[in-house]
Amino acid sequence: MDKIYVLTDRRYAGKGEGSTMPAKYVANVLLEDRLVVDALCRAGFDAERVAWCDAEVDWASARACLFRTTWDYFERWPEFSTWLEHTSRVTSLLNPPHILKWNLDKHYLRDLDEVGCNVVPTRFVRKGTLGRLQCMAEEHGWAEVVIKPAVAGAAINTYRIHLEERRCAPRSDHGFEELWARLIREQDMLIQPFLPDVVEAGELSLVWIGGEVTHAVRKQAKEGDFRVQDDHGGTVTSHRASPDELEFARAAMKACESHCQNQGWPLPLYARVDMVRDPAGAWAVSELEMVEPELWFRFCPEAAETLSLAVKERLGV
Number of C-beta neighbours around residue 51 at 10 A? 21
**Mean pLDDT, range 242-268, rounded to an integer:** 97
Indicate the helix (H) or strand (E) that contains 65: strand 64-69
Maximum separation of any 2 CA atoms in the chain, in Å: 62
- Residue 66, classified by CB atoms within 10 Å of its CB into exposed (0-12), middle (13-18) or buried (19+), is buried
Contact (CB, 8 A) for 218 and 239:
yes
User: Is the C-alpha dihedral spanning 61, 66, 72, 76 positive or negative?
Assistant: positive
Contacts of 220 (CB under 8 A, 6+ apart): 202, 228, 234, 235, 236, 237
Looking at the predicted structure, is the pLDDT value of residue 37 above 90?
yes
Average pLDDT over residues 261-280: 95
The tens digit of pLDDT for each residue in 63-79 reads 999 999 999 988 888 99
- Per-residue pLDDT at 227 exceeds 70: no
What structural domains and CATH numbers belong to the chain? 3-95+304-315 (3.40.50), 108-119+197-290 (3.30.470.20), 123-194 (3.30.1490)
pLDDT greater than 90 at residue 299:
yes
Residue of 177, 174, 2 lying closest to 94 (CA atoms): 2
pLDDT digits (tens, 9 = 90+) for 94-153: 999 999 999 999 999 999 999 999 999 999 999 999 999 999 999 999 999 999 999 877
